[in-house]
Structure 1
Amino acid sequence: MRRIAGIVLAVLLIGGVVAAVVAGRNDQDKGTATKTVQGVIGSEKAEFFADPDVVKALAAKGYTVKTETSGSWAMEGLDLKGYDFAFPSSQAPADELADKYHVRQPLPRPFYSPLVVVAHRSAAQVLAANGLAALDKNTGTLKMAAYLDAAEHDRTWQQLKGAKAHGELSGTLYITTTDPDTSNSGALYLAAASYVADGGRVAADTAAVERTAPLMHKLISVQGAQQSSTDAAFRDFISGAGNPLVLVYESQVAALLAEGQDVGDLTVLYPDTTANSDHTVVPLTPQGRSLGELLSSDPTLRELAVRHGFRPQGATAEFTAATASHTAYLNQKLTGVRQAPVPASKVLHEMARRAGN
């Protein structure tokens, strides 16, 4: 009898262990991703998706996200078969991809970032002294019409009042950008510049491209070899290398400030006419659309996006609160900044082609 009771007890104990293991696995599964989605993203979002806190937040919602980087405008030339989503840095290349892959609208747009020009303090002060910028502490406004006039007349730093006191300011005055043929920020730079140069008209056809083509060519050709991503250009600037004026995303500056890194004599100039980079998800599968909607709506992921410098769509308060200690560098409310409409993809492609030839 004792032997039978012992066997029964052993069976019960084993059953309890098995039940505990199963329960443990079930509990573990609740915090573990169950769906793997793969996408192609703009390089400026690579650090966001690699952030362990973002990985954890996505896993809590049942996702493992694997990404590869590409220039936003170069995505159109990729074979995206087998991918769940593409995530370019603005709406124009996203709409192009949506048409190509017959993706239904609307497309999720989780966050955005305005384009800014980072400058060393000496360069910003010289621009301000010559009517090309207005400064307030470590931020200010770049006067696009005045800057484009200087570019059209091939002005050099040496021709600007006060530049002689700064040996690093020499040669032609220009803003370093990425390649507009493949990179979103470079293309948006042309969109904003052409809008200003053509009297506040958005380029809608070949004739409009023709009107500004000589100036757009000057803006690009003076740069020589261009980077394919803003990440590389921004790193060069922070390290003290390269041109004293570089076009980057505000998100890159905001993320650096959030990390508490030393930014030296960094000055952030917001062009008075600029173009926002609307980071737009192109869902290629239902899982890709679910991910895009999650990035837009989940409070934790929105908070993490702000930590990486992005402005969540539809809620300025989140960005304002998170950057409250960095107002010396950031124009939180984008005061005095006008948003330039972006030409249709086909027109912008032609503008970039003419600018580079």
Structure 2
Amino acid sequence: MRRIAGIILAVLLIGGVVAAVVAGRAEERSTATKTVRAVIGSEKAEFFADPDVVDALAAKGYTVKAETSGSWAMEGLDLKGYDLALPSSQAPAVELAGKYKVTGTLPRPFYSPLVVVAHKNAAGVLAANGLATLDEAHRGTLKMAGYLDAARKDRTWQQLKGSEKYGELTGTLYLSSTDPVTSNSGALYLAAASYVENGGKVVADDAAVKRTAPLLRKLVSVQGAQQAGSDAVFRDFVSGSGNPLVVVYESQVASLLREGQQPDDLVVLYPDTTVNSDHTVVPLTEDGKAVAELLSQDATLRDLEVRHGFRPHGGPPEFASGATYLKQELTGVHQAAVPTSEVLRELARRAKG
């Protein structure tokens, strides 16, 4: 009996040693990574918080500690001690690169087009009035020229046929967006609108700024107070509050669908003239540069980018979970050129009055 007890005790002791070794190795793995401090646009917060992304980066020796900020607001931050900044487009990234004397080509690991999310009733009314077309129950196209003409004329929902059936469709017809002074999605919305208003040409001089500013002012002033980040705007829409038409990133919709949610009241409208949000890295240290390269080149991370709704450069995504909501290929969507950061800032300033 004592021998049996001794054997059991030995097994337990060995097991304890093995457990201690495993725990030690796990701890060693967690502490053997370099911590990279990053400031990112809010729409990428879920990506960097994903345990699979954390593990993929850790396997390469890095832990990314991310903080969120409006892309245009990053220029006003003190980024001393940070390893990288990841705004949501090239323009604010170029500004940051100049400020911190970062030279060379800035990595652009993935992108996402701007889309308009609409409640089903609102999308149906737009389609019935020639302002949109629907090719799926949850997907369609917004006719930007028609919408901007309606905005120019201060059209209301009540002036659109069919709207009388829906009590929630009242007041001025408009798209909700983020603050263009601090947020990239709001600024890119103005870039697309100004391109259409300028006759299909990028706004590049004072005359074009002056010509397009009155309409941009209408697009912004009708909204009242604006959110500083696209994440809050999208979550408000999904919760059923706020305006029935909201400008967001396609990636935000794809991420929602990945979570298993497929709202019956959600329709994704691709503007026939839109802009891509080119997520651009500003490496501030060598570690930041290494993480930027991983985001661009590592196969596991690229697959995870698609999972979160981003479109990696150099390869088409497959949004399997959102086939009835999202376009696999951006056919029928014209990509407008984006003004320089200086011009875009001036457009935002004038739009805000």
In the superposition, the TM-score normalised over structure 2's length comes to: 0.91
Within 5 A, what are the aligned runs for 1:42-53?
Answer: 42-53=41-52
What amino acid is aligned across from residue 92 of structure 2 in structure 1? P
What amino acid is aligned across from residue 273 of structure 2 in structure 1? T
Query: Could you tell me how far apart the structure 1 residues matched to 2:100 and 2:222 are?
Result: 37
1:82 paired residue number: 81
Q: CA deviation at 1:325?
A: 4.2
Alpha-carbon contact 1:275-1:339 (below 8 Å) kept:
yes
CA distance 1:153–1:299, change in 2 (3 Å): same
SS at match of 1:148: helix
Deviations 1:241-280 (A, max 9, x none): 1000000110010111111114131000000000100111
Query: Could you tell me how far apart the structure 2 residues matched to 1:151 and 1:308 are?
Result: 33
Alpha-carbon contact 1:33-1:61 (below 8 Å) kept:
no
Query: Could you tell me how far apart the structure 1 residues matched to 2:224 and 2:276 are?
Result: 25
Alpha-carbon contact 2:257-2:321 (below 8 Å) kept:
no
What amino acid is aligned across from residue 310 of structure 2 in structure 1? F
Query: Could you tell me how far apart the structure 2 residues matched to 1:108 and 1:69 are?
Result: 19
Say which is worse superposed, 23-32 or 64-73, in terms of deviation. Answer: 23-32
SS at match of 2:94: helix
Instruction: Count the aligned residue pairs.
Output: 336
SS at match of 1:200: coil
2:39 paired residue number: 40
CA distance 1:149–1:27, change in 2 (3 Å): closer
Query: Could you tell me how far apart the structure 2 residues matched to 1:232 and 1:356 are?
Result: 20
1:197 paired residue number: 197
What amino acid is aligned across from residue 348 of structure 2 in structure 1? A
Q: CA deviation at 1:350?
A: 0.4
The answer to whether structure 1 residue 185 and structure 2 residue 185 are counterparts is: yes
Query: Could you tell me how far apart the structure 1 residues matched to 2:120 and 2:182 are?
Result: 30
Deviations 1:67-96 (A, max 9, x none): 111000000111111110000000110011
Structure 2: give runs of 5+ residues left out of the alignment.
1-16
CA distance 1:170–1:64, change in 2 (3 Å): same
Query: Could you tell me how far apart the structure 2 residues matched to 1:23 and 1:141 are?
Result: 54
Q: Which residue, out of 320, 327, 331, partners 2:323?
A: 327
Alpha-carbon contact 1:32-1:60 (below 8 Å) kept:
no
Q: Which residue, out of 341, 348, 351, partners 2:347?
A: 351
SS at match of 1:126: helix
1:142 paired residue number: 142
Within 5 A, what are the aligned runs for 1:226-241?
Answer: 226-241=226-241
What amino acid is aligned across from residue 339 of structure 1 in structure 2? Q
1:243 paired residue number: 243
2:163 paired residue number: 163
Query: Could you tell me how far apart the structure 2 residues matched to 1:80 and 1:39 are?
Result: 9
Alpha-carbon contact 2:34-2:61 (below 8 Å) kept:
yes
Alpha-carbon contact 1:32-1:62 (below 8 Å) kept:
no
2:91 paired residue number: 92
CA distance 1:70–1:27, change in 2 (3 Å): closer
Query: Could you tell me how far apart the structure 1 residues matched to 2:244 and 2:61 are?
Result: 45
Q: CA deviation at 1:134?
A: 0.6
**Aligned Cα RMSD in Å?**
1.9
CA distance 1:169–1:288, change in 2 (3 Å): same
Query: Could you tell me how far apart the structure 1 residues matched to 2:103 and 2:25 are?
Result: 36
The answer to whether structure 1 residue 173 and structure 2 residue 169 are counterparts is: no
Report % sequence identity: 72
What amino acid is aligned across from residue 118 of structure 1 in structure 2? V
The answer to whether structure 1 residue 225 and structure 2 residue 221 are counterparts is: no
Query: Could you tell me how far apart the structure 2 residues matched to 1:120 and 1:226 are?
Result: 20
1:312 paired residue number: 312
2:297 paired residue number: 297
Query: Could you tell me how far apart the structure 2 residues matched to 1:176 and 1:205 are?
Result: 27
Q: CA deviation at 1:34?
A: 2.3
Q: CA deviation at 1:285?
A: 0.6
2:8 paired residue number: none
Q: CA deviation at 1:229?
A: 1.1
What amino acid is aligned across from residue 69 of structure 1 in structure 2? T
Structure 1: give runs of 5+ residues left out of the alignment.
1-17
Deviations 1:127-147 (A, max 9, x none): 011110010121000000000
Deviations 1:7-61 (A, max 9, x none): xxxxxxxxxxx9xx99996797467542111011000011111111111111111
CA distance 1:336–1:22, change in 2 (3 Å): same
Alpha-carbon contact 1:31-1:62 (below 8 Å) kept:
no
The answer to whether structure 1 residue 342 and structure 2 residue 338 are counterparts is: yes
Query: Could you tell me how far apart the structure 2 residues matched to 1:22 and 1:262 are?
Result: 44
2:69 paired residue number: 70
The answer to whether structure 1 residue 152 and structure 2 residue 148 are counterparts is: no
Alpha-carbon contact 2:258-2:321 (below 8 Å) kept:
no
Q: CA deviation at 1:239?
A: 1.0
In the superposition, the TM-score normalised over structure 1's length comes to: 0.90
The answer to whether structure 1 residue 115 and structure 2 residue 114 are counterparts is: yes
CA distance 1:190–1:27, change in 2 (3 Å): closer
